Structure 1
């Protein structure tokens, strides 16, 4: 298995490679610049000698002066210890040539224009020469131009460049190693906050979700990541807390009916009974089983809302829902219970929303059932529908004992009861009705809240209007 490079190693390697590339390019540029400088220096020196030779040859007007020309050129050109000279006469005979130097014949065969504009370099033994050649006419019109070649021994240039390049590339190597080491040190220091984040994150467990990463002490690039991680930890902490509370509530809620069933069953089995007694016990057990079935069904529905299944289902079954018609249908359903408790049901307004009709009916039913449970005899439950361009509002208001303000924010939590003793005494409900209503409203991109003042409790659902209706 190939071991992956760490982030420190990757950045260090990238920094070292980049530094080496820059240093190598710089070394090549320096090498090229110095070499060009030496070429220009040699060209200027050779051009000066050519001017002297052109001046001397241009003054030759008679054969007698031509015979003295080698002496004149030797005096004019041989003044530099590294300079070598060759002068060819009109018939390409050698008039003057430095000893022990072999001038390349291929160079002489080139055209006059090419030889006059370019420097030529050749090697002879252990020495290297750089020179130029030009055709120079005399004052004798019938004669062919003379060919003058001057060159300079560049051994001292090459020795200097060899030493310089050794020093330069040694420096480049050392500089690359130093920059790599400096890059590693810088990366280690720069990633220290990331390691601190890792150490702090390693301390986060299911029982220590209150740990947070230090945002203020981090650089801006990591501060955003730390802030996102802190927000994630806050969400996880909240989810774990709700899950823990939910598990405790489930155990508490299931314990009572299961205990009742076990007690009644054990009592019934303790001694023989007649058929009527067994039937009464089975009917009582059936009521407990129905309550357990409702609770399990509600818990399954809420579990689906947590994973978004109900939202997808509602989107599939979305239709235009006439809220007025749905509320009146619920009034008919609860009419017998309302008459038994001497409670009056009143509806006003109208509204149409887009959503799942059965789910919205269930949410409204939970609110009406809750209102009927707590409305005193002779009271009136008022349901008001309001339509605007922005939203549709359903208000379910009933008289009765006010709910303390500290309970209002938690009414829609699972298994939460503002009056646990009363709920347990009546045996009605499972503590999940308002939580289901909240989940359904949220799945429809709406809001639900409760207010309770001066003996009036009001639950409000606010939903977006239909897409095709201006007034809901």
Structure 2
């Protein structure tokens, strides 16, 4: 079985086709053989019934048993057309009056059909003659004109029928073997031709490299049964190509974002070491370096969080939270920062939300910090809740410069920044919104962003209801 599993699909189909063919041919041949055997047996039985009825009639036309002995020709003529037919006539004392085809052997005693009983198939018996031949026999009583009782036995050996059946049996198996070979060869050829599209797909798939992930298989050249497989393969290649492109972009962005603080550290340190400095200068250098180290540490922490979130290594501890209470805490935390920027924060929250409190606060902190960073002076940042479509939606709105439509779909990509007017590379890692999206994915929710023409930007966190 293991070796069969390792064979090619063409070989498997050929072998299975051969097995089906031999079972089919053997089944049909066996059925025909049995059918022929039953029909031949039925014909023999009908012939025996006819012969015993004729013998009864011939006996009834004779005057006596002595008349039969003197002139047995009518009986002999009735049985002469069958070489394997045994005819035995006895008188009431059991003495043999006539025995045709004695070379076939004697017939043992069998029950006789009484004079007034009809002959039927149930009276036929299977016997063995004294010559060792198998025969089917029937016996009946007959009467002459003067009332003499005659015992009539007609038997037919099965030698001719068995020879016919044996010949037919051999022909059936020869036909089955030849039919199986032809069917197996035809099945192998047809399977090989039918699987050509798969070989073509395999050859094309072999040509795909990391630089050709945009290659697609042609769905028009494959059978309908393989079209879903080809479509799934093409979709997989699209996902791989997209992931590969994002990975390349992520590597480039990561190198760029790490290079800036590292260059700052190297440059500041080289300048400080170029000549003797005062203690105050070295302290200022160390303070500046600590800021860069903190930024690098923050970036590494964010990247580790994203890696764990994407591999579902973060265990959520969801609970029902008061929206007003949670959002008020967040507004209170950012109140001093907002005042320094000339902004105010408004809360419009009702109901509860089912979420992990730590991750919810982290996502909201990122959005509110982002809103403060990009809001226009003397504007209001609104934090509110909305319930719709069996979801609880947290909204963070701010008034600022409008975001171009071609940037909106990339806002949640790692290290993505719109322009220098909306980002500060010195303080932003470019991972905040990516973290927000990962947190929402962990909650089986979603995050959306919209921007109106008048510059009102809204980030929406959509949480499913408890139990969904």
The answer to whether the superposition gives a TM-score over 0.5 is yes
Q: Does 1:40 align with 2:42?
A: yes
Q: Quote the residue 1:277 is aligned against.
A: 281
Structure 2 distance, partners of 1:121, 1:269, is: 124
- CA-based RMSD of the aligned residues comes to 2.9
Partner SS state of residue 301, structure 1: helix
Write out aligned runs for 1:402-417 (5 A): 402-417=402-417
Indicate which of 243, 260, 269 corresponds to 1:239. Answer: 243
Q: TM-score, normalised by structure 1?
A: 0.87
Q: Quote the residue 1:93 is aligned against.
A: 95
Partner SS state of residue 377, structure 2: coil
Partner SS state of residue 35, structure 2: helix
Q: Quote the residue 1:443 is aligned against.
A: 442
Give yes or no for contact 1:8–1:188 (8 Å, CA) kept in 2.
yes
Q: Quote the residue 1:327 is aligned against.
A: 327
Structure 1 distance, partners of 2:247, 2:296, is: 20
- With over 3 angstroms needed to count, the CA separation of the structure-2 counterparts of 1:331 and 1:135, relative to structure 1, is closer
Residues 41-77 of structure 1 show CA distances to partners (whole Å, capped at 9, x for unaligned) of: 333333333222212334566xxx2211134443233
Structure 1 distance, partners of 2:128, 2:369, is: 109
How far the C-alpha of 1:139 sits from its partner, in A, is 5.2
Residues 211-246 of structure 1 show CA distances to partners (whole Å, capped at 9, x for unaligned) of: 222223333322222222222222222222212211
Partner SS state of residue 272, structure 2: helix
Residues 163-214 of structure 1 show CA distances to partners (whole Å, capped at 9, x for unaligned) of: 4444333222211100111111121122222222322322333322212222
Structure 1, unaligned stretches of length 5 or more? none
Structure 2 distance, partners of 1:250, 1:87, is: 115
- With over 3 angstroms needed to count, the CA separation of the structure-2 counterparts of 1:459 and 1:45, relative to structure 1, is closer
Q: Quote the residue 1:167 is aligned against.
A: 171
Q: TM-score, normalised by structure 2?
A: 0.88
Q: Quote the residue 2:193 is aligned against.
A: 189
My pick for the range that moved more, 111-120 or 437-446, is 111-120
Give yes or no for contact 2:76–2:100 (8 Å, CA) kept in 1.
no
Write out aligned runs for 1:66-215 (5 A): 66-78=65-77, 79-80=80-81, 82=83, 83-98=85-100, 100-105=102-107, 108-112=108-112, 117-120=123-126, 122=128, 130-138=135-143, 145-152=149-156, 155-215=159-219
Q: Quote the residue 1:371 is aligned against.
A: 371
Partner SS state of residue 216, structure 1: helix
Partner SS state of residue 103, structure 2: coil
Give yes or no for contact 2:60–2:144 (8 Å, CA) kept in 1.
yes
Q: Quote the residue 1:229 is aligned against.
A: 233
How far the C-alpha of 1:293 sits from its partner, in A, is 0.6
My pick for the range that moved more, 46-55 or 363-372, is 46-55
- With over 3 angstroms needed to count, the CA separation of the structure-2 counterparts of 1:124 and 1:12, relative to structure 1, is farther
Structure 2, unaligned stretches of length 5 or more? 114-119
- With over 3 angstroms needed to count, the CA separation of the structure-2 counterparts of 1:149 and 1:81, relative to structure 1, is same
Give yes or no for contact 2:60–2:142 (8 Å, CA) kept in 1.
yes
Structure 2 distance, partners of 1:367, 1:404, is: 19
Give yes or no for contact 2:48–2:138 (8 Å, CA) kept in 1.
no
My pick for the range that moved more, 244-253 or 92-101, is 92-101
Structure 1 distance, partners of 2:122, 2:355, is: 94
Q: Quote the residue 2:57 is aligned against.
A: 55
